[in-house]
Amino acid sequence: MGLWIAAVGAGACALALAPYAWTYVASAGRRRRVGTVPHRPVAVVLGAAAWSEGPSPLLARRLDLAVRLFEDGGTERIIVSGDNREVSNRETDTMAEYLVKQGVPADRIDADRYGYRTWDTCVRVRDLFDVHAATMVTQSFHLPRTVALARAAGIDAVGVGDSSMGARRRSTVIGYVREVGAAVKALRDALLRPAPAHSEL
């Protein structure tokens, strides 16, 4: 009886972790460092918390990766995607302003102001910005899911992630834990392919 319970428990755990494993398998070989990531014409920076005084530390680190990509010739264009409502401190406005301050020309930056979810971002940049190949930029804990969903949306995606453990350990640990549940929704999105919440620019 004990062995049967253990087997059922192990099976349940494996089933629960299967979507999380899928994100890693689907993004295998496509998660790279800035210096080794293959060229893509567009870099897509996923949104995160914006503060009244500017991007949060994790968001700033994502944007810094995009700046490095741009300066190194790894991309020619940057799309910032996030929630640009006032309640979210206008993420994409904040992101674009930060990039300009770091020396990225404003005419090389586009904003997806309705990137409420990772899947929405992938579909919107594909359909509204005509993106078919991109480097996805986010934190390392979020990168497997991001690249997996971009590929599911038909984008030839690679990704670079900021390993924020040393700078924001608590937020990073929480991020990894949350990814287990988020992967379930991601796999559902990849299979069902829902329309984004907003389909306009």
Q: Is the pLDDT of residue 17 over 90?
A: no
Q: Is the pLDDT of residue 4 over 50?
A: no
Please state, in angstroms and rounded to a whole number, the distance separating the CA atoms of residues 190 and 181. Answer: 15
Tell me the mean pLDDT in the region 8-12. 41
Return the pLDDT at 33.
Answer: 94
| Cα 169 versus chain centre, distance | 19
| Cα 133 versus chain centre, distance | 14
- Reading the block at residue 193, the tokens are 């392919």
For the chain, the straight-line distance linking the first and the last C-alpha, in angstroms and rounded, comes to 58
Return the pLDDT at 171.
Answer: 87
Return the pLDDT at 201.
Answer: 87
112-142 tens-digit pLDDT: 999 999 999 999 999 999 999 999 999 999 9
Q: Say which residue, 201 or 144, is predicted with more confidence.
A: 144
Q: Is the pLDDT of residue 10 over 50?
A: no
Return the pLDDT at 34.
Answer: 93
Tell me the mean pLDDT in the region 158-178. 88
Q: Is the pLDDT of residue 6 over 80?
A: no
77-96 tens-digit pLDDT: 999 999 999 999 999 999 99
Return the pLDDT at 178.
Answer: 95
Q: Say which residue, 4 or 127, is predicted with more confidence.
A: 127
- Ranges of beta strands (E only) in 140-190 are 156-162
Q: Please check whether residue 197 is in contact with residue 116, taking contact to mean a CB–CB distance below 8 angstroms.
A: yes
Confidence of residue 64 (pLDDT cuts 50, 70, 90): very high
Residue type, 162: D
Mean pLDDT of the chain: 92
- Backbone angles phi and psi of 180, in degrees to 5: -60, -50
Confidence of residue 16 (pLDDT cuts 50, 70, 90): low
What is the domain partition of the chain in residue ranges? 2-192
Tell whether domain 2-192 is in CATH 3.40.50.620: yes
